[in-house]
Amino acid sequence: MGSNKSILGSSAESGVGKSGFHIRRQKNIIIRGLQIYKTLAPNDGVSIDESTNIWIHHNDFYSDLEHGKDYYDGLLDAKRGSDYITVSFNKFRDHYKCILIGHSDNNRNQDTGKVSCRAVAP
């Protein structure tokens, strides 16, 4: 996915299943009004790496709890030095590993001073 893009759901049924979005080294991305569901590991529903000014808004993220915790990966990951991420008015449900902010202790140098996320709940 390239910079300066918006992915907007056109109806309540709009969305993507078993696959997700990988935003890497991009800026100014909006993902709004989608169902993002049952994304199979090793992919995430939305994965944000080394990107800035990303807005994830009014989406419904889910899988199921019938499979083990490693069958699906994360619903939303913001890592590897991403910055200025807004996650607002989303639903996260029926999942073991919902959100990852930051990467790991081994990746501290890349994330220090970044990965500023703003979460807004209804």
Total number of domains in the chain: 1
Quick: pLDDT tens for 51-98: 999 999 999 999 999 998 899 999 999 988 899 999 999 999 999 888
12 has a pLDDT exceeding 90:
no
| Nearest CA among 105, 50, 94 for reference residue 72 | 94
Quick: pLDDT tens for 29-50: 999 999 999 999 999 999 999 9
Tokens of 105: 């202790």
How far apart (Å, rounded) are the C-alpha atoms in residues 115 and 79? Answer: 7
Dihedrals φ, ψ of 73, to 5°? Answer: -100, -150
Q: Are 70 and 101 in contact (CB under 8 A)?
A: no
Q: Are 75 and 39 in contact (CB under 8 A)?
A: yes
Q: By residue range, what is the domain housing residue 95?
A: 5-120
Q: What is the pTM of this model?
A: 0.86
